[in-house]
Structure 1
Amino acid sequence: MNLKLTPPKEITFWISVALGLLGLFSFLGVFTLLPIEAFWLLFIGFALLVVALLVKDL
């Protein structure tokens, strides 16, 4: 199996980091006004980063 991974664009990377941090802060109780659970914020951020690695120019 030969995967050709490409580095994500900088904006995609920072969006995924921001989603991960929001998920972490939501889990810790810093942000309680978010209508989505912390797990899903972390999952979406990680999934975005994985998709950006697999898709060229994302």
Structure 2
Amino acid sequence: MDLLRWTLIFLVLALLAAVFGFGGFAADFAYIGKILFFIFLVLFIVGLIFGRGRGSTL
């Protein structure tokens, strides 16, 4: 979940930079946030696929 937190941080930074008129920084932060989100998504899906074989511990 740490990767998702960083994605949200970069999203907030991109929005703040866009509000204050720093277009270049906003684009950079949005790009980094997008990359981190897709890495999180891939790792989440891989975790779902490989975590399926484990039985319940109840």
TM-score (norm 1): 0.51
Size of the alignment, in residue pairs?
38
Q: Cα RMSD over matched residues?
A: 2.7
CA shift for structure 1 position 55: 1.6
Specify the code of the residue in structure 1 equivalent to 2:6. Answer: L
Note the residue ranges of structure 1 that are not aligned, 5 or more in a row: 1-16
| Greater helix proportion | 2
Q: State the 4+ residue runs in structure 1 displaced beyond 3 angstroms.
A: none
2:4 aligned to which of 20, 38, 43: 20
For structure 2, list consecutive stretches of 5 or more residues without a partner in the other structure.
15-24, 54-58
**What's the offset of the Cα at 1:43?**
1.1
Q: Percent identity?
A: 21
TM-score by length of 2: 0.51
